[in-house]
Amino acid sequence: MRALFLLIFAIFTLSAMTQKEGDIEKKIDDWDYNATTKSSKNKMSRNMPMIATQAKMMSAESIGFSVGGAKDADNFYENIKNGYLPKISSLTYEGVFYDHYFKSSYDKNCESLFCPSYKTTSRVNPYTKQKEHFLSVGLNSNIKAKDFARKKLNIVVVLDISGSMNASFDKYYYDNKKNTNNQEQTSKMQIANRSLVSMIDHLKDEDRLGVVLFDNDAYLAKPLRLIKNTKIDATKKHILELKSKGGTNWSDGYKKGLDQFQTIKSSFKDPKIYENRVIFLTDAMPNRGELSSDGLFGLVKSASEKGVYTTFIGIGVDFNSDLVESISKTKGANYFAVHSDEEFSKRLDEEFDFMVTPLVFDLALRVEGDTKIEAIYGSPEANLATKEIMYVNTLFPSPTKSGEVKGGVILLKVDNTKDLTLKVTYKDREGKSYEVKEKISFKEDKDEALQKAILLSDYVTLLQNWMLDMREGCQDKVIQNEELIPYKRSMLFPPSRPNFKMLKTWERKSCELRVSEGYKKLLSLFKRDFKDRALEFKNDKFEKELDALSTLLLRKKVEDKIIDDWQSKR
């Protein structure tokens, strides 16, 4: 009897020990989507531990801020490279700024979450001959890199598996052009799958991951579950085997993604402990579902008000940046265009923790006095500004190196050089409000960050005007109510032009890359001027900008109705 008791006790004890150590035992392959095909072409992404990111962060003394919205201009550059005329929204001021570092000009002890710094200058625009006055806003923080750590993550990936994702990464799906060189091309689906696997490598044991797929309908492929309880290698394998099919129903995909946040206890999505985010990977080519303000747009906004924020990742050269730019103006949202899975993996190594951690909300800068704001460069919400107020939905933490902040500036053009008072208000993650007020005496400043912001703003302004004019005769059929004199129009703030709002959105075929003779002459002058001014910034090469200008200047003349619109005596 005693022997039987000891045997039962030993079995019970062994079982209890196994249960206590049960994290390994509890790991399951919870993938529940069967429309997969094996493909030996897909390679498993390298596993880059979080230590690498932390080491880079620790090397900097502090972090700064950058605005939400576009975090690059890669879709613009990829279109140029492949001979397509980009969409205007693919090249934004904030996206170009985020490709560069700006030296912080804050010379005080920053004691608040957000510490703006201001610099001013004036110039005569070399193209319009108009006197212009600028005010830069440096985006500084009191957060030390060694103290920064993201919260636990609840991430639901919503992945587009529609038919257009099977198209080549560097071609427009709706062109319906077949591959004539008999070479197997990398599809958008493959790039998306690899990018997602690369992102999963940055999740920790205490994070949760869920996966929703959508085409005509939406499917729960993986429920929201702790990483430590998931067979992640199996999840990666399933993702790499995904193939595309069907139409595109963004709204159903997003709704099913949001549903996953309802499956966990409220204590497990407490915003003080957890970041709750949807990662939406798509080529942004919708042809089904509701895309009105009551559809996807409304869903993203409604989710943000409940503390669930959204990151859009655009896949492919035909990624429709118009749609995503509009949606990403929502609180806590941002978007990236994937140039290649290797480049995206490198970016994740350095910035993953930043891209999922919005810190400042509802930032407003009010100009008090007789000075008025004429234009804003570097804020996705520039269209919400008035002559007195600049508004930014969200600031994200941004990496620094040698005292420079990546994308850490917003540039304003004002109407005079009078002294002014600037009042900044914002909220932190807990909804607490702050106010910073400062008097500014307008003076001519050679501040490096200010001058670099002006240089890059000139670049974006010129190329947006070029795209706006080249859209005539393409799908947009823009009606020109202005004389075709790019020399006089090249530096106008594009949203101020009447035909800026006439551009169509949604899905489309490609437009062939074209540069009129007038713009070629103008771009040639601008490139020469850009290179001369760029020499002032020894730590910045401006390679993307110069390569794009060179590509445009080498473009052969397109035989169509484009005229020689150069009408300057310069």
The CATH number linked to 269 is: 3.40.50.410
Closest CA to 365 of 383, 381, 389, 384: 389
- Work out the pLDDT band at 36, boundaries 50, 70, 90: very low
Of the listed ranges 54-63, 308-317, 505-514, 520-529, the one predicted with least confidence: 54-63
Average pLDDT over residues 502-528: 81
411 with 294, same domain? no
| Residue 311 and residue 222 share a domain | yes
The pLDDT score that the predictor gives to residue 562 is: 54
DSSP string, 455-486: HHHHHHHHHHHHHHHHTTTSTT-PPP-S---H
Q: Are residues 333 and 390 in the same domain?
A: no
Which of 49-63, 168-182, 328-342, 420-434: highest mean pLDDT? 420-434
- Residues 224 and 243 grouped into a single domain: yes
Q: What is the pLDDT of residue 50?
A: 34
pLDDT digits (tens, 9 = 90+) for 328-370: 788 999 999 887 888 888 888 889 999 999 999 999 999 998 8
**Which among 245, 250, 167, 237 is positioned nearest to 196, based on CA atoms?**
237
pLDDT at 408: 95
In this structure, the answer to whether residues 219 and 235 fall within a common structural domain is yes
Asked if pLDDT for residue 108 goes beyond 70, the answer is: yes
In a domain, 17, yes or no: no
Amino acid at 508: R
The average pLDDT across 475-485 equals 50
Residue 570: predicted pLDDT: 43
- Tell me if 204 is assigned to some domain: yes
The verdict on residue 165 lying in a domain is yes
Confidence band of 175 (pLDDT split at 50, 70, 90): confident
CB contact set of 391 (below 8 Å; sequence gap of 6+): 362, 363, 364, 365, 379, 381, 384, 385
pLDDT surpassing 60 at residue 272: yes
Q: Is the pLDDT of residue 415 over 60?
A: yes
Residue 551 lies in a domain: no
Q: How far is it, in rounded angstroms, from Cα 225 to Cα 264?
A: 9
Last residue of a domain, one of 355, 386, 420: 355
Q: pLDDT grade, residue 565 (50/70/90)? A: low
Of the listed ranges 4-13, 199-208, 317-326, the one predicted with least confidence: 4-13
pLDDT at 563: 55
Question: pLDDT confidence of 461, banded at 50, 70, 90?
Answer: very high
In a domain, 28, yes or no: yes
Q: Would you say residue 11 lies in a domain?
A: no
Q: How far apart are CA 218 and CA 216, in angstroms?
A: 7
Model confidence at 516: pLDDT above 90: no
Residues 170 and 296 in one domain: yes
Residues 133 and 155 in one domain: no
Burial class of residue 544, CB neighbours in 10 A (0-12, 13-18, 19+): middle
pLDDT computed for residue 566 by the predictor: 57
What is the reported pLDDT for 52? 36
In order, the DSSP letters of 143-192 are EEGGG----EEEEEEEEE-SGGGGSBTTS-GGG-PPP-S-PPPPBHHHHH
In terms of DSSP H, where are the helices of 333-375?
341-355
The confidence score (pLDDT) of residue 381 equals: 84
Asked if the model's pLDDT at residue 487 lies above 80, the reply is no
pLDDT in tens, 376-402: 999 988 776 778 889 999 999 998 888
How many folded domains does the chain comprise? 2
Q: Domain for residue 393, yes or no?
A: yes
User: 1 Cβ partners below 8 Å, 6+ apart?
Assistant: none
Range of the domain at 416: 111-143+373-446
Verify that 254 and 332 share a domain, yes or no: yes
The last residue of one of the domains, among 296, 324, 355, is 355
221 and 116 within one domain? no
Are 249 and 388 part of one and the same domain? no
**266 or 26, which is more confident?**
266
In the predicted structure, residue 252 carries a pLDDT above the cut 70: yes
Domain boundary at 446, 468, 484, which?
446
Q: What is the CA radius of gyration of the chain?
A: 25
Helix (H, G, I), strand (E, B) or coil at 243: coil
In a domain, 39, yes or no: yes
Give mean pLDDT, residues 477-481. 49
Distance, CA of 477 to chain centre: 28
Compute the average pLDDT of residues 459-465: 95
The pLDDT value given to residue 463 = 96
196 & 250 share domain:
yes
Same domain, 115 and 212: no
Give the integer Cα–Cα distance in Å for 217 and 192: 19
SS3 363: strand
Residue 456 pLDDT > 50, yes or no? Answer: yes
Checking if the pLDDT of 1 tops 70, the result is no
pLDDT tens digit string along 317-329? 888 787 777 777 8
